[in-house]
Amino acid sequence: MHSSLPKSIQDLVEYFSRLPGIGPKSATRHVFYLLQSSRYFQEQFGTALLRLSDNIQHCKYCFHFADEDVCSICSNPKREQEKLCIVETSVDILAIEKTNAFRGRYFVLGGVLSPMNGIGPQDIRISSLLQILEKSETEAIQEIILALPSTMEGEATAHYLFQKISNLSDNKKISRIARGIPLGSEIQYADENTLARAFEGRQIF
């Protein structure tokens, strides 16, 4: 940080730099943009930030972000109640919703198992998920879709959830999103693990 800058600017640049994908140079440009903006814009920007902590909460059903107790997805009667998609974070919900390929409901785990980092089942929302599934034993949920990261931690979490859910109920179908060759890419450039996943997830033409 350039020492010639006033401390108030340096402090704000530091906070911007903590955001994912924003380095010191980008953070400085953002702060300078705010400095050149109108006071009205600065006030609205600050108010919007404060509203994050004042108004935003977790949906009591799926733990997605919401303005009220229940998010817009869980409160939508047109969603397919029989399908529940398990994701790591709310950002994953946004990505899936853009596809318009899934019209069911979600559950946000809030992380994945990572023993190396000291993250166990008690540190994410696995117990809350199992409680929901226990209550839905005689209700609508018929298929549980695991849409977790294709990482060692994501794989471990998926296997752990599969065992827990299978022990809980034999009546629920458990599936996971397919993994394989990305659309538009060539087979010769795919790594061994990706290509193996593509063969495992193959479908009848």
* pLDDT tens, residue by residue, 147-190: 998 888 998 999 999 999 988 877 788 998 888 877 777 767 87
**Please, are residues 81 and 104 in contact by the beta-carbon 8 Å criterion?**
yes
* pLDDT confidence of residue 72: 94
pTM score, two decimals?
0.81
Q: Which residue has the higher pLDDT, 138 or 164?
A: 164
What is the rounded distance in angstroms from the CA atom of residue 130 to the CA atom of residue 58? 18
* pLDDT confidence of residue 86: 96
Residue 140 has pLDDT above 90, yes or no: no
Structure tokens at 76: 């939508």
What is the rounded distance in angstroms from the CA atom of residue 167 to the CA atom of residue 79? 27
* pLDDT confidence of residue 204: 66
**Please, are residues 114 and 153 in contact by the beta-carbon 8 Å criterion?**
yes
Superfamily (CATH H level) for 7-55: RecR Domain 1 (1.10.8.420)
For 160, left (φ over 0), alpha (ψ -120 to 50), or beta?
alpha
Residue 138 has pLDDT above 60, yes or no: no
Tell which CATH classification among 3.40.1360.10, 3.40.1410.10, 3.30.70.20, 3.40.120.10 matches the domain 80-200.
3.40.1360.10
Residue 125 has pLDDT above 90, yes or no: yes
* pLDDT tens, residue by residue, 2-52: 567 899 999 999 999 999 999 999 999 999 999 999 999 999 999 999 888
Domain coordinates of the chain in residue numbers? 7-55, 80-200
Residue 201 has pLDDT above 90, yes or no: no
Averaged confidence pLDDT in the chain: 88
